[in-house]
Amino acid sequence: MPLLNQLNILPPESFNEETFDQIQRELVKRIHLQNSFNKEDVHLVAGVDLAYWEDGDRTLAVCCICVVDYITHEIVETKSLQDEIKVPYIAGYLSFRELPLILDTIGQLERDPDLVMFDGNGYLHPRHMGIATHASFYLNKPTIGIAKSYLRIQDTDYEMPASESGAFTNIVINGEVYGRALRTHPQVKPIFVSCGNGIDIDTSTELTLALINKESRLPIPVRQADLETKKHRAALKQMSGHEGDESHSCDELYRKL
């Protein structure tokens, strides 16, 4: 059964840790931490982020995706979609909660990105199945996880990299590199880079640094997606409780304001 169909047909009674764990343990066998592409072929990079809010007994979210030209850093496309989140939060299995809305939003893109960066982890996860890795099986594209804060695994702390652009330290757990603490600006907090799938850690680091500008420690696609989610959430919260259960593009909702 195709993975996307497998995700969509899960009945609500299957929204539990046991089922999610079984699915992830099957998927982890298909992770490849080698480049599945030529770096010279990367022209468009998408950044993905979600923001949540509560509306009574409902949890709502907006997903924003920004596609950026890898060379010029120009934003070439932005798409946003909001919907109710019906998968419950289970620690360590956040990707199951986020994937349906992410995939619906990606389906709206008119431009086809060569690589996708996520505001979140990838291989840097207790089961190597953060959102950047989990989503890769549905996108068939190389993916990278970019986290703003450190996910502590097995009581392992990270070593602070030197205070210079491009400095990094590997996050090693049980002899395996899970990700990197990467300094993108001097005297600015590091970010945490991990492979999603179809890419190695050195290339993940290189592409991340190539998309850094002076405005943020985050790569431009992730930074712009983060800004968009905050903007859209603020506007959409004003309309919570008036749109029912149907998903809407943010442009559709703004026309009703």
What's the distance, CA 211 to chain centroid? 16
Amino acid 248: pLDDT? 52
Binned average pLDDT, 10 residues per bin, the chain of 257 residues: 47 81 94 97 98 91 97 97 92 93 96 98 97 96 97 95 97 97 97 98 98 96 97 83 49 39
Give me the pLDDT at residue 257, please: 30
Burial of residue 109 (CB within 10 Å: 0-12, 13-18, 19+) is: middle
Q: Which of 78, 144, 80 is nearest to 117 (CA)?
A: 144
The pLDDT of residue 238: 77
Q: Are strands 44-55 and 58-69 parallel, antiparallel or unpaired?
A: antiparallel
**Structural domains present in the chain:** 42-256 (3.30.2170.10)
Q: Contact 84/101 with Cβ under 8 angstroms? A: no
Report d(CA 108, CA 81) in Å as an integer: 9
Q: What is the pLDDT of residue 90?
A: 92
Candidates 99, 98, 82, 92; CA nearest to 3 is 99
Q: Which of 48, 30, 71, 39 is CA-nearest to residue 203?
A: 39
Give yes or no for a contact between 6 and 113, defined as CB atoms under 8 angstroms apart: no
Three-state SS for 121? coil
Which tokens in the block code for residue 93?
Answer: 């299995």
Q: Output the CA–CA distances (angstroms, integers) from residue 103 to 131, 171, 210, in the order listed.
A: 12, 29, 26
Q: What whole-number distance in Å separates Cα of residue 204 and Cα of residue 181? A: 12
Distance between CA atoms of residues 251 and 171, nearest Å: 41
